[in-house]
């Protein structure tokens, strides 16, 4: 390629130079940027690929009417260990059946009830990363200055509430753990899922991945955590997407991607002295919606049984004004 030729966005990236995360991130950001693609005021990023036609295509996949929640439970027995003040949910009852039985709630004619409250970080369990979640050198999605996007009042531009009506369409499962993993359908920690792995898995499933799809990637890491205990599930070693998959994420024009791991990308990361480099390109430059800690095991079993790896998927975030992430209960219907 001549020095001034545009980058080849159709070719997979070479294995990264482990000693140069800055260079790899900068090159990928330049090659795979979607800045300006949907205008200067865009708030949705790759969700723009998910249009009405794609939703009709997804809805037409419902045949049997069987449904699967792809969410973990939200309770104190969750994966969080307090990293950066991320804790598991704290659920507190405000009124209980005991209060009603003692008739101390102040209601007339025997009326009683219960009420409760929950306190939790918005990304402590099954969740979406919003577009205001990650910056690259102080720059947010679409080239905006991070300090002008997310303030102490929250995300003033790309808050997760703007995505709430849009995340429903054609879902696809790529069960990389089942295709490339061990007898339990699980990948080992540190396994970097490349473009070739993703394409091989899609071919094995007989499913295509393309514009506007909501892609889920199962590694088996959550299944292992359930069997062995949480351990370092939150933040520790895990299989995940390779940094070299960034071109595939951009070129396929998928609307969103979610995995059954804490961090979406392979851990340890593929560079020395780096932290989540794929996030640093995917969110602020591609504008990609990323989901983490999704429970894909039940869905995967059904897909393996009937051979159908595409389905209707709805996964609306809570429309929390100004939030940079949100809990979600994704529901797949086949």
Residue 3 has pLDDT above 50, yes or no: no
DSSP code of residue 213? -
Per-residue pLDDT tens digits for 318-329: 999 999 999 999
pTM: 0.94
Band of the pLDDT at 83, cuts 50, 70, 90? Answer: confident
Name the nearest CA neighbour of 11 among 217, 246, 206.
Answer: 246
Q: Is 94 helix (H, G, I), strand (E, B) or coil?
A: strand
CB 248 within 8 A of CB 278: no
Residue 34 has pLDDT above 90, yes or no: yes
CB 198 within 8 A of CB 176: yes
250 membership: H or E segment, kind and range: helix 246-251
Q: How distant, in Å, are the alpha carbons of 7, 34, 251, 255, 319 from that of 1?
A: 8, 22, 20, 30, 46
Give 3's Cβ-side CA count (13 Å radius).
0
Per-residue pLDDT tens digits for 46-57: 999 999 999 999
Euclidean distance between CA atoms 59 and 240, whole angstroms = 29
Architecture of domain 21-81+122-333: 3-Layer(bba) Sandwich (3.50)
Name the nearest CA neighbour of 219 among 265, 282, 285.
Answer: 265
Residue 280 has pLDDT above 90, yes or no: yes
Provide the sign of the torsion angle of the four alpha carbons 306, 309, 314, 318, taken in this order. positive
CB 289 within 8 A of CB 255: yes
Tell me the sheet residues that pair with 333. Answer: 67, 312
Euclidean distance between CA atoms 223 and 261, whole angstroms = 10
Domain ranges of the chain: 21-81+122-333, 90-119
Give residue 12's pLDDT: 64
Question: How many other CB atoms are found less than 10 A from the CB of residue 12?
Answer: 17
The number of helices, as runs of H, and strands, as runs of E, in the chain is 10, 17
């Amino acid at each position: 390629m001549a020095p001034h030729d545009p980058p080849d966005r159709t070719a997979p990236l070479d294995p990264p130079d482990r000693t140069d995360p800055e260079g790899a991130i900068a090159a990928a950001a330049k090659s795979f940027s979607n800045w300006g693609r949907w205008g200067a005021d865009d708030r949705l990023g790759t969700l723009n690929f998910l249009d009405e036609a794609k939703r009709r295509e997804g809805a037409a996949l419902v045949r049997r009417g069987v449904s699967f929640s792809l969410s973990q439970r939200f309770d104190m027995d969750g994966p969080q260990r307090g990293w950066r003040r991320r804790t598991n949910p704290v659920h507190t009852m405000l009124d209980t059946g005991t209060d009603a039985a003692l008739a101390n709630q102040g209601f007339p004619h025997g009326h009683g009830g219960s009420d409760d409250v929950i306190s939790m970080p918005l990304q402590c369990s099954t969740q979406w990363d919003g577009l205001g979640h990650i910056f690259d050198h102080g720059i947010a999605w679409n080239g905006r200055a991070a300090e002008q996007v997310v303030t102490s009042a929250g995300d003033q531009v790309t808050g997760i509430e703007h995505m709430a009506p849009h995340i429903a369409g054609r879902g696809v499962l790529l069960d990389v753990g089942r295709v490339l993993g061990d007898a339990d359908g699980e990948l080992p920690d540190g396994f970097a899922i490349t473009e070739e792995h993703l394409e091989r898995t899609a071919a094995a499933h007989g499913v295509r991945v393309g514009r506007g799809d909501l892609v889920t990637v199962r590694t088996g890491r959550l299944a292992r955590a359930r069997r062995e205990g949480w351990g370092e599930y939150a933040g520790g070693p895990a299989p995940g997407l390779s940094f070299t998959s960034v071109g595939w994420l951009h070129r396929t024009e998928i609307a969103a991607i979610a995995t059954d791991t804490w961090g979406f990308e392979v851990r340890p990361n593929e560079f020395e002295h780096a932290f989540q480099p794929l996030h640093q390109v995917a969110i602020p430059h591609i504008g990609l919606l990323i989901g983490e800690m999704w429970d894909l095991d039940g869905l995967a079993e059904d897909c393996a049984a009937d051979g159908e790896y595409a389905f209707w998927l709805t996964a609306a975030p809570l429309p929390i004004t100004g939030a940079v992430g949100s809990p979600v209960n994704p529901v797949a219907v086949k």
